[in-house]
Chain A
Amino acid sequence: AQKITQTQPGMFVQEKEAVTLDCTYDTSDPSYGLFWYKQPSSGEMIFLIYQGSYDQQNATEGRYSLNFQKARKSANLVISASQLGDSAMYFCAMREGPSGGGADGLTFGKGTHLIIQP
Protein backbone atom coordinates (compact mmCIF):
# COMPACT_ATOMS: atom_id res chain seq x y z
CA ALA A 1 0.00 0.00 0.00
CA GLN A 2 1.19 3.48 -0.78
CA LYS A 3 2.26 5.45 2.24
CA ILE A 4 1.80 8.83 0.57
CA THR A 5 -1.00 9.42 -1.95
CA GLN A 6 -1.32 12.50 -4.10
CA THR A 7 -4.45 12.10 -6.18
CA GLN A 8 -3.97 15.08 -8.48
CA PRO A 9 -1.40 14.37 -11.21
CA GLY A 10 -1.90 17.87 -12.61
CA MET A 11 -3.75 21.10 -11.88
CA PHE A 12 -4.40 24.31 -13.77
CA VAL A 13 -5.17 27.38 -11.65
CA GLN A 14 -5.71 31.02 -12.47
CA GLU A 15 -3.16 33.45 -11.12
CA LYS A 16 -4.09 34.99 -7.75
CA GLU A 17 -6.46 32.17 -6.86
CA ALA A 18 -5.84 29.96 -3.84
CA VAL A 19 -4.68 26.40 -4.52
CA THR A 20 -5.13 23.25 -2.47
CA LEU A 21 -2.90 20.27 -3.22
CA ASP A 22 -4.11 17.03 -1.71
CA CYS A 23 -2.03 14.56 0.26
CA THR A 24 -3.11 11.58 2.31
CA TYR A 25 -0.77 9.34 4.21
CA ASP A 26 -0.75 5.97 5.86
CA THR A 27 1.16 5.11 9.00
CA SER A 28 0.61 3.27 12.24
CA ASP A 29 3.40 5.12 14.00
CA PRO A 30 2.09 7.81 16.36
CA SER A 31 5.16 9.93 15.73
CA TYR A 32 5.80 11.17 12.22
CA GLY A 33 6.59 14.26 10.21
CA LEU A 34 4.99 15.52 7.03
CA PHE A 35 6.77 17.68 4.47
CA TRP A 36 6.00 19.51 1.27
CA TYR A 37 8.63 20.18 -1.38
CA LYS A 38 8.47 22.20 -4.57
CA GLN A 39 10.43 21.19 -7.67
CA PRO A 40 10.56 23.81 -10.43
CA SER A 41 11.66 22.90 -13.94
CA SER A 42 15.29 23.48 -12.91
CA GLY A 43 15.05 20.23 -10.93
CA GLU A 44 16.09 21.31 -7.45
CA MET A 45 13.86 20.24 -4.57
CA ILE A 46 12.88 23.19 -2.39
CA PHE A 47 11.57 22.61 1.12
CA LEU A 48 8.30 24.47 1.77
CA ILE A 49 6.71 23.44 5.03
CA TYR A 50 6.79 20.88 7.84
CA GLN A 51 4.07 19.47 10.14
CA GLY A 52 4.76 17.20 13.08
CA SER A 53 2.22 14.64 14.17
CA TYR A 54 2.03 16.12 17.65
CA ASP A 55 1.80 19.72 16.53
CA GLN A 56 -1.43 21.28 17.76
CA GLN A 57 -1.61 23.99 15.15
CA ASN A 58 -1.45 23.85 11.39
CA ALA A 59 1.93 24.90 10.04
CA THR A 60 2.23 28.14 8.06
CA GLU A 61 5.12 29.64 6.10
CA GLY A 62 4.29 32.83 4.26
CA ARG A 63 1.80 32.01 1.51
CA TYR A 64 1.98 28.29 2.33
CA SER A 65 -0.13 26.60 4.95
CA LEU A 66 -0.69 22.96 5.74
CA ASN A 67 -4.23 21.81 6.42
CA PHE A 68 -3.49 18.95 8.81
CA GLN A 69 -6.43 16.65 9.59
CA LYS A 70 -4.95 13.91 11.69
CA ALA A 71 -8.04 11.72 11.98
CA ARG A 72 -8.38 11.69 8.22
CA LYS A 73 -4.63 11.26 7.71
CA SER A 74 -4.65 14.23 5.44
CA ALA A 75 -2.01 16.94 5.00
CA ASN A 76 -3.08 19.23 2.19
CA LEU A 77 -0.92 22.14 1.08
CA VAL A 78 -2.69 25.45 0.59
CA ILE A 79 -1.06 28.20 -1.46
CA SER A 80 -2.76 31.54 -1.09
CA ALA A 81 -2.79 34.12 -3.90
CA SER A 82 -0.98 31.95 -6.43
CA GLN A 83 1.73 33.44 -8.64
CA LEU A 84 3.14 32.41 -12.00
CA GLY A 85 6.34 31.39 -10.22
CA ASP A 86 4.39 28.78 -8.28
CA SER A 87 4.20 26.62 -11.39
CA ALA A 88 6.15 23.48 -10.49
CA MET A 89 5.90 19.89 -9.29
CA TYR A 90 4.86 19.59 -5.66
CA PHE A 91 5.69 16.58 -3.53
CA CYS A 92 4.27 15.50 -0.22
CA ALA A 93 6.60 13.39 1.93
CA MET A 94 6.62 11.65 5.28
CA ARG A 95 9.14 10.41 7.78
CA GLU A 96 8.01 7.92 10.40
CA GLY A 97 9.59 7.11 13.71
CA PRO A 98 10.06 8.48 17.15
CA SER A 99 11.69 11.82 17.71
CA GLY A 100 15.23 11.60 18.85
CA GLY A 101 16.99 9.57 16.27
CA GLY A 102 17.01 7.49 13.17
CA ALA A 103 18.41 8.29 9.78
CA ASP A 104 15.66 7.01 7.58
CA GLY A 105 14.91 8.89 4.43
CA LEU A 106 11.63 10.41 3.39
CA THR A 107 8.83 8.57 1.64
CA PHE A 108 7.51 10.69 -1.21
CA GLY A 109 4.23 10.81 -3.07
CA LYS A 110 4.18 10.81 -6.86
CA GLY A 111 3.69 14.53 -7.06
CA THR A 112 1.26 17.07 -8.47
CA HIS A 113 2.18 19.21 -11.46
CA LEU A 114 0.76 22.67 -10.80
CA ILE A 115 0.45 25.17 -13.62
CA ILE A 116 -0.54 28.74 -12.86
CA GLN A 117 -2.20 30.49 -15.76
CA PRO A 118 -2.16 34.30 -16.22
Chain B
Amino acid sequence: DVKVTQSSRYLVKRTGEKVFLECVQDMDHENMFWYRQDPGLGLRLIYFSYDVKMKEKGDIPEGYSVSREKKERFSLILESASTNQTSMYLCASRWGLTLSTDTQYFGPGTRLTVL
Protein backbone atom coordinates (compact mmCIF):
# COMPACT_ATOMS: atom_id res chain seq x y z
CA ASP B 1 0.00 0.00 0.00
CA VAL B 2 1.08 3.53 -0.73
CA LYS B 3 1.84 5.49 2.36
CA VAL B 4 1.94 9.26 2.55
CA THR B 5 2.81 10.69 5.94
CA GLN B 6 2.72 14.22 7.24
CA SER B 7 4.87 15.40 10.11
CA SER B 8 2.05 16.68 12.32
CA ARG B 9 -1.70 16.14 12.62
CA TYR B 10 -2.21 19.35 14.58
CA LEU B 11 -0.06 22.46 14.73
CA VAL B 12 -0.53 25.80 16.47
CA LYS B 13 1.70 28.72 15.50
CA ARG B 14 1.79 32.45 16.09
CA THR B 15 1.44 35.15 13.48
CA GLY B 16 4.77 35.91 11.86
CA GLU B 17 6.37 32.56 12.62
CA LYS B 18 8.03 30.51 9.90
CA VAL B 19 6.21 27.20 9.55
CA PHE B 20 7.38 23.98 7.92
CA LEU B 21 4.96 21.24 6.94
CA GLU B 22 6.65 18.02 5.92
CA CYS B 23 5.34 15.26 3.68
CA VAL B 24 6.97 11.93 2.90
CA GLN B 25 5.84 9.22 0.50
CA ASP B 26 7.25 5.74 0.24
CA MET B 27 6.27 4.67 -3.29
CA ASP B 28 8.89 6.43 -5.39
CA HIS B 29 6.23 8.71 -6.87
CA GLU B 30 7.39 11.42 -9.24
CA ASN B 31 4.66 13.94 -8.52
CA MET B 32 3.78 15.49 -5.19
CA PHE B 33 1.18 18.08 -4.27
CA TRP B 34 0.12 20.41 -1.49
CA TYR B 35 -3.53 21.38 -1.07
CA ARG B 36 -5.37 23.38 1.51
CA GLN B 37 -8.92 22.55 2.49
CA ASP B 38 -11.39 25.05 3.88
CA PRO B 39 -15.08 24.51 4.70
CA GLY B 40 -17.28 25.27 1.74
CA LEU B 41 -14.32 25.66 -0.61
CA GLY B 42 -13.17 22.09 -1.13
CA LEU B 43 -9.50 21.46 -1.79
CA ARG B 44 -7.36 24.01 -3.57
CA LEU B 45 -3.94 23.36 -5.02
CA ILE B 46 -1.10 25.41 -3.56
CA TYR B 47 2.01 23.96 -5.23
CA PHE B 48 3.11 20.79 -6.93
CA SER B 49 6.36 19.19 -7.90
CA TYR B 50 7.03 16.76 -10.70
CA ASP B 51 10.66 16.04 -9.86
CA VAL B 52 13.38 16.76 -7.36
CA LYS B 53 14.10 20.49 -7.17
CA MET B 54 11.23 21.20 -9.56
CA LYS B 55 8.12 23.07 -8.49
CA GLU B 56 5.10 24.67 -10.06
CA LYS B 57 2.56 27.08 -8.67
CA GLY B 58 -0.96 25.88 -8.21
CA ASP B 59 -4.09 27.98 -7.85
CA ILE B 60 -3.27 29.73 -4.56
CA PRO B 61 0.54 29.95 -4.09
CA GLU B 62 0.62 33.38 -2.44
CA GLY B 63 2.18 33.29 1.00
CA TYR B 64 3.67 29.82 0.50
CA SER B 65 6.83 28.27 -0.83
CA VAL B 66 7.94 24.66 -1.25
CA SER B 67 11.06 22.59 -1.24
CA ARG B 68 11.82 19.21 -2.78
CA GLU B 69 15.39 18.18 -2.16
CA LYS B 70 14.68 14.44 -2.19
CA LYS B 71 12.19 12.51 -4.26
CA GLU B 72 10.26 11.18 -1.28
CA ARG B 73 9.94 14.46 0.61
CA PHE B 74 7.98 17.60 -0.22
CA SER B 75 7.90 20.49 2.22
CA LEU B 76 5.46 23.38 2.40
CA ILE B 77 6.82 26.56 3.95
CA LEU B 78 4.90 29.48 5.34
CA GLU B 79 7.54 32.20 5.49
CA SER B 80 5.52 34.41 7.84
CA ALA B 81 2.35 32.75 9.02
CA SER B 82 -0.86 34.76 9.05
CA THR B 83 -4.26 34.03 10.55
CA ASN B 84 -5.81 33.55 7.12
CA GLN B 85 -3.53 30.55 6.65
CA THR B 86 -5.36 28.68 9.38
CA SER B 87 -6.56 25.63 7.49
CA MET B 88 -6.25 21.91 6.88
CA TYR B 89 -3.24 21.11 4.69
CA LEU B 90 -3.18 17.93 2.67
CA CYS B 91 -0.22 16.43 0.88
CA ALA B 92 -0.63 13.98 -1.99
CA SER B 93 1.59 11.99 -4.31
CA ARG B 94 1.09 10.32 -7.66
CA TRP B 95 3.05 8.13 -9.99
CA GLY B 96 0.85 8.49 -13.06
CA LEU B 97 2.22 9.71 -16.32
CA THR B 98 -1.20 9.33 -17.92
CA LEU B 99 -4.68 10.28 -16.85
CA SER B 100 -5.64 6.68 -16.24
CA THR B 101 -2.95 6.32 -13.60
CA ASP B 102 -3.52 9.69 -12.06
CA THR B 103 -4.79 8.45 -8.72
CA GLN B 104 -3.45 10.72 -6.05
CA TYR B 105 -2.75 9.25 -2.63
CA PHE B 106 -3.25 11.60 0.25
CA GLY B 107 -1.67 11.95 3.65
CA PRO B 108 -3.76 12.31 6.81
CA GLY B 109 -3.60 16.11 6.78
CA THR B 110 -2.21 18.76 9.11
CA ARG B 111 -4.65 21.05 10.82
CA LEU B 112 -2.78 24.33 11.24
CA THR B 113 -4.02 27.10 13.52
CA VAL B 114 -2.31 30.48 13.37
CA LEU B 115 -3.02 32.69 16.36
Contact = CB atoms under 8 A, between A and B. Distances in A.
Nearest to A53: B99
Interface stretch (B69-77, B79-87, B100-108): B100-108
A50 B100 contact: yes
A103 B104 contact: no
Interface residues of B, number: 31
Interface in A38-86: 42-47, 50, 52-53
A100 B35 CA distance: 23
Contact of B106 (A31, A44, A104, A110): A44
A95 to B, nearest CB: 5
Contacts of B104: 35, 45, 47, 105-106
Contacts of A47: 103-105
A24 to B, nearest CB: 14
Contacts of B111: 43
Nearest to A45: B106
Contacts of A53: 99
Nearest to B51: A103
Contact of B48 (A32, A42, A104, A107): A104
Closest 8 CB pairs of A and B: A103-B50, A45-B106, A105-B45, A33-B99, A108-B42, A108-B43, A43-B109, A99-B98
